[in-house]
A and B are shown apart, each in its own frame.
Chain A
């Protein structure tokens, strides 16, 4: 138990210490929120969909949690490069505990980052319809974070070095983001796109947040919750299995 705790704490310490990184990671969500939020606002309004800022804010929060959690999982590659991974792998602690500590740490950091962006969204004019539902939205953030921290560890364990990073970024992370309905409504999509969005776990996370925050759901909060829990369990199991196979 103490091993899980100390590795969780390590992720948190690293997060709070790299202020530059913290600020840098706010750049992208801000751009999507402000540029798209205000830029596409009039068109969205004319299409009879209401405020785009209200609509896109949960998407931007989801995006932040996605990036933050998947990168924390991939942080494994840095630890491999700088050697710290070895130190944990030879310790008399099961790999499962190490993996859980890292994943929980990464997920916690991702949720903190998500909360920070939520705050920015509120400052920009985002207003949740039900304040009482904010804890539920937090729950969805945590689920998104767990799903993708698990995926990050699974992918990070399977790569040998940072060379594959760009590949992961372009063919995994960005598609997950763009196909999640973070930026557009999922109703009435063309068949193929609709089908693809249905297999993207993030679309359930963002849908869940929209369901509880702005009353706009495509799948419904309960379905979202069930799918996310199932996928989280699946990815954690795969992540733990890949992690246990690491050789250095």
Chain B
């Protein structure tokens, strides 16, 4: 369903994604793990047509998202790592815009909006502007919105960030349900190794832009001779803490970026 070959993304001299290749089969749940700044989100952005790769090939359901952008976009849904709601609109209106943009028929849209908002306990607040929501509520709304249409591939970029255990549980139950019932392929990233261990069929570990291991959670553990996925992860990526933003050179680049426009 997803095929990535020798994918490279460079921002100036910095290589964010370095020669990454992997495949995700139809109906599979694939967890993409890595420390901060390892290149997870950049990879997702390239898979979802938000960024153009420097080199390498991507296939989504047999389509190249660079060439057939709209065709590709029809096939996936995504829950972003950072907020993407319109704070001035109500929860219901945010759902409505999403439904219209994803061509969900009116009737289905209303039914599913109600069901999802109830499931994520936002129904009572549906008429409130999103900017009045707490962080957790916004997060839940993003997730509910992501499930409004049924895509072939679902991208979840750190979906459980800032969620309480109840909502987290709801989320994974729902992910498993759509995966089993509707054969939705799921590509997720998370920092919670226990979650990855529990839901993912296969995992890939990325560090400094390079894919350092991939296989079932069991295989990864065996390969590193560790007991848990967390230990395996640390064995593979080391224990130094990563820093996403760097020194003044980066600030200069940011300034230059402003002038170069979309090119960066």
- What is the interface of chain A, defined by CB distance below 8 A to chain B? 2-3, 5-7, 10, 13-14, 17-18, 79, 82-84, 86-94, 157-161, 163-164, 242, 245-248
Contact = CB atoms under 8 A, between A and B. Distances in A.
A248 B51 contact: yes
B87 interface: yes
Contact of A247 (B50, B73, B89, B254): B50
A7 B86 CA distance: 12
Contact of B70 (A17, A84, A92): A92
B50 A89 contact: yes
Interface string B108-135: 0000000000000000000001000000
Contact of A92 (B50, B51, B73, B82): B73
Contacts, number: 94
A16 to B, nearest CB: 10
Interface string B63-88: 00000001001101010101111111
B261 A90 contact: no
Nearest to B75: A92
A170 B83 CA distance: 31
Given A3-B101, A18-B88, A90-B49, A13 B93 contact: yes
B88 A13 contact: yes
B231 interface: no
A10 B258 contact: no
A248 B51 CA distance: 6
Given A13-B89, A83-B85, A84-B85, 9 more contacts: A10-B86, A10-B89, A79-B86, A82-B86, A87-B80, A93-B73, A94-B70, A158-B262, A248-B51
B174 interface: no
Nearest to A167: B258
A17 B88 contact: yes
Contacts of B84: 83-84, 86-87
A248 B87 contact: no
B88 A91 contact: no
A184 to B, nearest CB: 34
A87 B84 CA distance: 6
B107 to A, nearest CB: 14
A160 B254 contact: yes
Contact size class for B?
35 or more
B251 to A, nearest CB: 11
B225 interface: no
Given A13-B88, A92-B73, A248 B101 contact: no
Contacts of A6: 96-97, 100-101
B261 A91 contact: no
A92 B103 contact: yes
B60 to A, nearest CB: 12
B3 interface: no
Contact of A161 (B52, B87, B258): B258
B261 A158 contact: yes
A31 to B, nearest CB: 27
18 contacts: A3-B101, A7-B97, A10-B89, A10-B93, A13-B88, A18-B88, A83-B85, A87-B98, A87-B101, A90-B73, A90-B76, A91-B98, A91-B102, A92-B101, A242-B261, A242-B262, A247-B264, A248-B50
Contacts of A94: 70
Contacts of A161: 258
B258 A160 contact: yes
A13 B130 CA distance: 14
Contacts of A2: 100
B257 interface: yes
B45 A248 contact: yes
Nearest to A87: B84
- 8 smallest CB-CB distances across A and B, nearest first, come from A91-B101, A83-B84, A158-B261, A92-B73, A92-B74, A87-B84, A6-B100, A245-B262
Nearest to A94: B70
Contact of B83 (A7, A83, A91): A83
B101 A93 contact: yes
Nearest to A98: B101
Contact of B51 (A82, A91, A247): A247
Interface in B218-264: 254, 257-258, 261-262, 264
